[in-house]
Amino acid sequence: MNYDLFDNDNSGEYWTEGICDGAVVLRQFATNTAPELISVINLITQQSPFRHMKTTGGYTMSAALSGCGSLGWISDHAGYRYSAIDPTTGLSWPEMPAVLFELAQKAAAEAGYDNFTPDACLINRYKVGAKMSLHQDKDEQDFSAPIVSVSLGLPATFLFGGKQRSDKTIKVPLTHGDVVVWGGEVRKNFHGILPIKADSHLLLGEERINITFRVAG
């Protein structure tokens, strides 16, 4: 694996690792801004509380969800989709803070995806034991834009697969401050998170927070 060091006055020193063509990890890219990210997430989730959504099959997701931006992702018996209204509050989703929007843009640009303008920011909270099964991000209207995914708190193992659920997956360890970006030919590849292992993090305790940016509308 080749490592390229960069300097970025927003994110500090970080390095990149390729997962496959079109997908990279920006190691420690968000570490320096993490305290501010956590602060704005706390404000967002006061307005739009974490909740455990159900799959179309009626199963409760182990990761809790909130979000911000003009669109938010929702799941219920009617299916998976984006909505301008948070069904829990009946209100619009909180506005996406500039610190989140700018981080997503910079991460996408570093990964080779310029002019990224996300309109949806999903915030997942993982407690110990929570996971995310293999799935595709395919509810968006425009697949030409990448996915930008920020990890905070407890470590996780990210699974990155292929076009079919049965395809072999690559296991990618993620730690606090890492950012994964993927797009192009691998934009709709299956991916997931293995169950979070028991541990404690200085800033988030026994939790992992994942912030995912998308162009949904």
- Model confidence pLDDT, tens digit, residues 28-58: 999 999 999 999 999 999 999 999 998 888 8
Is 208 annotated for ligand binding? Answer: yes
The answer to whether residue 41 is domain-embedded is: yes
Q: Average pLDDT for residues 156-170, to the nearest whole number?
A: 98
Question: Count of CB atoms within 10 A of residue 100's CB?
Answer: 24
In a domain, 61, yes or no: yes
pLDDT score of 8: 36
On whether 51 is known to bind a ligand per the annotation, the reply is: no
Is 114 a domain residue?
A: yes
Domains in the chain: how many in total?
1
The answer to whether 165 is a known ligand-binding residue is: yes
Pairing of strands 12-20, 4-8: antiparallel
For position 84, which CATH number holds? 2.60.120.590
Asked if residue 126 is part of any domain, the answer here is yes
Q: Tell me what pLDDT residue 117 has.
A: 98
Mean pLDDT, residues 127-154 taken together: 96
Instruction: Check the annotation: does 81 bind a ligand.
Output: yes
In whole angstroms, what is the distance from residue 56 CA to residue 77 CA?
5
Dihedral over Cα of 24, 132, 130, 105: its sign:
positive
The mean pLDDT of 200-216, rounded to a whole number, is: 98
- Residue 209 annotated as binding site: yes
Residue 214, annotated as binding a ligand: yes
178 annotated ligand binder: no
| Cα distances (angstroms) measured from residue 106 to each of 109, 114, 172 | 5, 9, 22
Domain presence at residue 8: no
Average pLDDT, the chain: 93
- pLDDT-derived band of residue 7, with 50, 70 and 90 as boundaries? very low
pLDDT value of residue 142: 85
- Banded model confidence at residue 78, pLDDT cuts 50, 70, 90: confident
Please tell me the predicted confidence (pLDDT) of residue 12. 64
Q: Is 52 annotated as a binding residue?
A: no
- Domain membership flag for residue 3: no
User: Would the annotation count 9 as a binding residue?
Assistant: no
Taking each helix axis from N to C end, the angle separating 34-47 and 98-110, rounded to the nearest 10 degrees, works out to: 130
Residue 14 labelled as part of a binding site:
no
- In which domain, by residue range, is 119 found? 23-214
pTM above 0.85, yes or no: yes
**Does some domain include residue 75?**
yes
Query: Residue 200 has what pLDDT?
Result: 97
